[in-house]
């Protein structure tokens, strides 16, 4: 059996839909249960449903041969895995956001700009490239609250529809990257089980585009 680590949350339904399109079907009974390890109807695949940030950990350590998570997670954690396939769904933007009049570009600030984020590494690298020292305030969710309550001057977060920003009076100030769901593969597993992994990638590809090959 091939084991896949799948991100719970915003990518879960689209991931299961893509698997179903590829003929890899998980029964509704399993999906409705609280089980964290699921199998497909044909008994070919085993799925681990884990937090998005944990997907690369399971894949890098070889517990799962492959996985599906957002590119935002990969940019943040830089795991040592192959990233052969852009699945094309879950498209979001990773952005700097804040109040429309935020003085985030000013270089003559007396204090470091405070940036709240779930992506401390991406944030650090981004502001380093513009030679702007920042104080990173790491949060694990509802990041938009931070500027609203004065905890931070701006945020770095993903934006999908833009609704959360708009409803909290915030705007996108700068785009850092476009992100979407990616299939990642354990390096050793790819070489040891190349035929099966290649077949899986072909089945999951949105078209015949296989992205950047490993």
Distance CA 76, CA 126 (A): 11
CB of 89 to ligand PRP, least distance (A): 14
Return the number of the residue (116 or 197) whose C-beta is nearest ligand PRP. Answer: 116
Return the number of the residue (5 or 73) whose C-beta is nearest ligand PRP. Answer: 73
Return the number of the residue (25 or 171) whose C-beta is nearest ligand PRP. Answer: 171
CB of 146 to ligand PRP, least distance (A): 11
Positions touching ligand PRP (CB under 6 A) are 10, 141-144, 157-164
Distance CA 35, CA 119 (A): 29
The CB-nearest residue to ligand PRP is 141
Q: 136-140, long-range: CB within 8 Å, 24+ apart, which pairs? A: none
- The tokens of 39 are what? 């199998």
CB of 44 to ligand PRP, least distance (A): 30
**Helix, strand, coil share (%) of the chain residues, nearest 5:** 30, 30, 40
CB of 76 to ligand PRP, least distance (A): 13
| b/e burial code for range 154-186 (CB count within 10 A of at least 16 → b) | bbbbbbeeeebbeeeebeebeebeebbbbbbbb
Whole-number Cα distances in Å, 53 to 29, 60, 111, 145? 26, 12, 31, 21
Return the number of the residue (92 or 189) whose C-beta is nearest ligand PRP. Answer: 92
CB of 57 to ligand PRP, least distance (A): 18
Query: Which residues have C-beta within 8 Å of that of residue 177, sequence separation ≥ 6?
Result: 71, 72, 75, 93, 94, 122
CB of 84 to ligand PRP, least distance (A): 25
Residue with tokens 């529809």: 161
Return the number of the residue (11 or 183) whose C-beta is nearest ligand PRP. Answer: 11
Return the number of the residue (25 or 74) whose C-beta is nearest ligand PRP. Answer: 74
């Amino acid at each position: 059996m091939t084991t896949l680590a799948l991100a719970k949350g915003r990518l879960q339904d689209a991931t299961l839909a893509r698997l179903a399109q590829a003929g890899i079907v998980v029964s509704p009974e399993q999906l409705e249960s609280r089980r964290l390890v699921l199998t497909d109807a044909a008994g070919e695949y085993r799925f681990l449903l884990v937090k998005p940030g944990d997907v690369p950990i399971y894949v890098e350590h070889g517990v799962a041969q492959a996985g599906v998570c957002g590119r935002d997670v990969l940019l943040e954690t830089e795991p040592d895995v192959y990233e052969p396939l852009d699945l094309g769904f879950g498209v979001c933007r990773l952005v700097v956001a804040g109040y429309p009049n935020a003085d985030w570009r000013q270089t003559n600030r007396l204090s470091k700009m405070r940036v709240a984020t779930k992506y401390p590494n991406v944030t650090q690298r981004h502001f380093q490239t513009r030679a702007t020292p920042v104080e990173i305030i790491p949060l694990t969710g509802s990041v938009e609250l931070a500027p609203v309550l004065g905890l931070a001057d701006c945020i770095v977060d993903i934006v999908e529809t833009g609704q959360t920003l708009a409803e909290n009076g915030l705007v996108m100030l700068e785009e850092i990257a476009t992100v979407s769901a990616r299939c990642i593969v354990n390096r050793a597993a790819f070489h040891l089980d190349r035929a099966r992994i290649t077949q899986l990638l072909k089945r999951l590809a949105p078209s015949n585009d296989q992205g950047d090959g490993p």
